[in-house]
Structure 1
Amino acid sequence: MVEFPGYSLSGMIASCFLILLTVKQQDDFRVLGPEGPILARVGEDALLTCRLLPKRSAAHMDVLWYRSEPRAAVTAPQGGADMVEVQVQECRGRLEMLEDGVAEGSVTLKIRSVQPSDSGQYWCRFQDRDYFGETSLLLQVAGLGSAPHIHIMGNQSGGVELLCTAEGWFPEPHVRWEDRWGERLLAVSEHHVLGEDGLFRVEDMLVVGNVSVVTETVSCFIHNPVLEDGKGAVLNLPEKLQTEMASLQVIGPSQPIPVRVGEDIQLTCYLSPKTNAQGMEVRWVRSLWYPAVYVHANGDLMAGEQMSEYRGRTSLVSDAIQEGKLTLQIHNARASDDGWYRCLFESDGVYQEASMELKVIAVGSTPLVTVERRKAGEKQLTCTSDGWFPQPHVQWKDTEGRIVPSDPAVLHQGQNGLFDVESHLLVTNSSVMNVACSISNLPLGEEKTVAVSLSESKKNFSWKMLPVSGLLLVVTIGLIWMKS
């Protein structure tokens, strides 16, 4: 709830802003807005206008703009024509009420430098004491992004992959691949990523066949459905593509790379045969082309293309770049670093790549076992530990190493990506004296075990049987004496 001295705005949901202009009118009226949506391009100014019908002065009415469903009327201070603004951070300084048409019952809200988040429905309300009228307006924000760029990439099966990339589009655009005759080609993967700025980045992959038979002209067109406009790029695949792709290969590690949480990661790839890579673009990526883990071009890091989670954590070892060998260091390994990486070298407009798998490992704390006594001599054992990655394997064992059946372990992954584990075992057999809780990290083969002695239950059991044994002894002696 937002409050001002002398009145309140209770019942209203402040979405992006609340703007009140103190005005007053006594007769009934209707509020009208534009017949269709209001279109504004990203970065431009948007004008939202509503007016009274029949036409009359609105110099003494209360006017409210908001971005939520209609609610109860808002009480505003009477007298004066000062504008009160209540705005959240992303709207502050971008809103202005234009009062040029107030004498004719028309008001306009100006939104400067429109952003994708401004798109949506708005409400304009005129109020006079207990009577109000309102209307809705639809603002459609659209952005025509960059022209597409087609990247040529080779794959390990000898085929050619084409990647169409573009950025700065809103709303989500449509992508179409065409051959030289204008026939549609079907993409094998489509990724439209919404960036921090609210705009879409396009990454569409097309496989065009075996490199030995590729002599095609391929086009990538990106279309904005709101603006009904788009941009395209045409690529003439070079006739010498097969020779260019066969001349160089990118080599990476053939086995998974193990690294413990907190250690530094080293991802090395190199060209075969040895080739000077100083003038090449070298790119380390995860599943998508952008944002990247690291991009080395023109002798430096392309910081604008780097994923936020790797900023400040990466460095490049380039002392062997003249031989085509580069090593990316990722400092302070995290659980989120686990997975596959791709290393791409660009030569003459063609990208060759190698894939590598990173195995992030963490061995957690020593297990802690607690014992809870239950009815009928049963005991509930709980084994807990934290800080494991990947998911650990939990087992209960007896003194001879045999597995004791237990409830499935409960795993919880924290914000740091590490797993906490909890396992329960119900002991109902009083003859069980010792058990052990074992938690292991399967990739490393390391485990941590803690043994628990339940011998106290055995002592209690023997103590309870002692009076019975003594009674039997007395009866036996008595019978022998009587017989004698």
Structure 2
Amino acid sequence: MKFICLAVLIISGATDSRSEQYKAVGPADPVFVVAGEDVILPCSVKPNISVVDMRVEWIRPDLKNSLVHLYEDHEDRNTEQIESYRGRTELNHQELQTGDASLKLSSVQVSDEGRYKCFIQSKSWSDDATVDFIVEVVGRPPVITVDGFDDSGGLHLQCESEGWHPEPVLEWLDSEGVILSSETTDTHRNTDGFSVKQTITVYHSDKIHCRVKLRHHTLEAVIISSSNMFHLWRASAILFSVIVVLSGFAAVLIAVFVHEYREHNQLQNENRRIKHELELLQSQKIPKVITHLETDKVNSKTVDGDSANACLTESEHGKEIIDDETKP
């Protein structure tokens, strides 16, 4: 009896010791995939043993309903699977015999991004491995816009690209591949993903590259800032300066002309006013002078009723005396 108990203890200890050697192993680095493609999330048992008779469960710990895929009792049991994963998950049952419990996920979506846990359980041991999964979305090609020259003759360039996930890296390079320092960087995130925008100022002719990178994905746009552009700016600056000077001179001449014209008009108006007042004054004084003169003339005459040669007739209004002399 003692011998049997000892044998059982030895066998049990050997089994436990052996079971402690098995381990679920996942990838050391995050798994990347472009949205719309299929991906394999690695998970296996080391040393390799068959997991056909074991329970294999893939979950997302960050979600309330966390079940992504379940294999148990030699079949897939996905009745409680997350709705968005239905019809898109698969375990290779043949690979289970070699300890490979990797999950295939089809038609990857941005919402699939996150942390996954692969849980493997047998009757004697269990273990889990973690897989970090990142979904990439390649955005639209960058577009370079010329924003004109500044006061010092620098050419302003702006590069913008949209629809990336995760956030990409945008950089400017010259014709020799040297990275140029950008002035401003503006990054936004919306339902379409990340958009990034940068501006730069160049002061010489060159081939300028705007490059947007996301891990192994790169999109690029090129613009050539030729010397003619800078010559054109210099000519435009000179022409503008000449126009400003001429405009200032013309403004001064116009101001002087307007001032002289106003003074001339004021002088003419003043002359007309004075002339009009003189005319009014003359029209009021002359009749009175004539009346007094004629009255004095009449008074100087000797009015004699017996005189036969003089006949004085008073006007109807009594204001004027008419001397009517009748000669024999």
TM (normalized to structure 1)? Answer: 0.41
8 Å contact 1:433–1:458 — kept in the other structure? no
Q: Which residue of 2 aligns with 1:251?
A: 25
Structure number with the higher helix fraction is: 2
Is structure 2 residue 178 aligned with structure 1 residue 402?
A: yes
Q: Which amino acid aligns with 1:424?
A: T
8 Å contact 2:42–2:131 — kept in the other structure? no
CA distance in 1 between counterparts of 2:35 and 2:146 reads: 32
Is structure 2 residue 232 aligned with structure 1 residue 460?
A: yes
CA distance in 2 between counterparts of 1:462 and 1:306 reads: 68
CA distance in 2 between counterparts of 1:335 and 1:327 reads: 20
Q: Which residue of 2 aligns with 1:151?
A: none
Provide closer, same or farther for how the CA distance between residues 450 and 295 of structure 1 changes in structure 2, counting only shifts above 3 A. Answer: same
What does residue range 72-471 of structure 1 map to in structure 2 within 5 Å?
A: 243=17, 245-288=19-62, 290-348=65-123, 350-373=125-148, 376=151, 379-415=155-191, 418-427=193-202, 429=203, 431-441=204-214, 443-444=215-216, 446-455=217-226, 456-461=228-233, 463=235
Which consecutive unaligned segments of at least 5 residues does structure 2 have? 1-11, 240-328
CA distance in 1 between counterparts of 2:126 and 2:186 reads: 45
Provide closer, same or farther for how the CA distance between residues 355 and 400 of structure 1 changes in structure 2, counting only shifts above 3 A. Answer: same
* Alpha-carbon displacement from aligned partner over 1:204-232 (angstroms, at most 9, x marks no partner): xxxxxxxxxxxxxxxxxxxxxxxxxxxxx
- Displacement of 1:433 in angstroms is 4.5
Based on CA coordinates, which of the two structures has the bigger radius of gyration?
A: 2
Q: Which residue of 1 aligns with 2:261?
A: none
- Displacement of 1:397 in angstroms is 2.4
8 Å contact 1:318–1:327 — kept in the other structure? no
Provide closer, same or farther for how the CA distance between residues 350 and 400 of structure 1 changes in structure 2, counting only shifts above 3 A. Answer: same
Q: CA RMSD in A?
A: 3.3
- Displacement of 1:349 in angstroms is 6.9
What does residue range 48-63 of structure 1 map to in structure 2 within 5 Å?
A: none
DSSP 3-state at the match of 1:412: strand
TM (normalized to structure 2)? Answer: 0.57
CA distance in 2 between counterparts of 1:293 and 1:262 reads: 18
Count of residue pairs the alignment pairs up:
225
Q: Which amino acid aligns with 1:421?
A: V
Which consecutive unaligned segments of at least 5 residues does structure 1 have? 1-237, 468-484
* Alpha-carbon displacement from aligned partner over 1:69-88 (angstroms, at most 9, x marks no partner): xxxxxxxxxxxxxxxxxxxx
DSSP 3-state at the match of 2:43: strand
* Alpha-carbon displacement from aligned partner over 1:99-118 (angstroms, at most 9, x marks no partner): xxxxxxxxxxxxxxxxxxxx
Overall identity of the aligned pairs, in % = 26
DSSP 3-state at the match of 2:230: helix
Q: Which amino acid aligns with 2:230?
A: K
- Displacement of 1:343 in angstroms is 1.1
Structure possessing the higher relative contact order (Cα contacts under 8 Å, 6 or more residues apart): 2
* Alpha-carbon displacement from aligned partner over 1:406-433 (angstroms, at most 9, x marks no partner): 24432233335x3222222245x3x355
Q: Which amino acid aligns with 1:436?
A: H
* Alpha-carbon displacement from aligned partner over 1:42-71 (angstroms, at most 9, x marks no partner): xxxxxxxxxxxxxxxxxxxxxxxxxxxxxx
Provide closer, same or farther for how the CA distance between residues 244 and 304 of structure 1 changes in structure 2, counting only shifts above 3 A. Answer: farther
Provide closer, same or farther for how the CA distance between residues 461 and 409 of structure 1 changes in structure 2, counting only shifts above 3 A. Answer: closer
8 Å contact 1:314–1:329 — kept in the other structure? yes
- Displacement of 1:239 in angstroms is 9.6
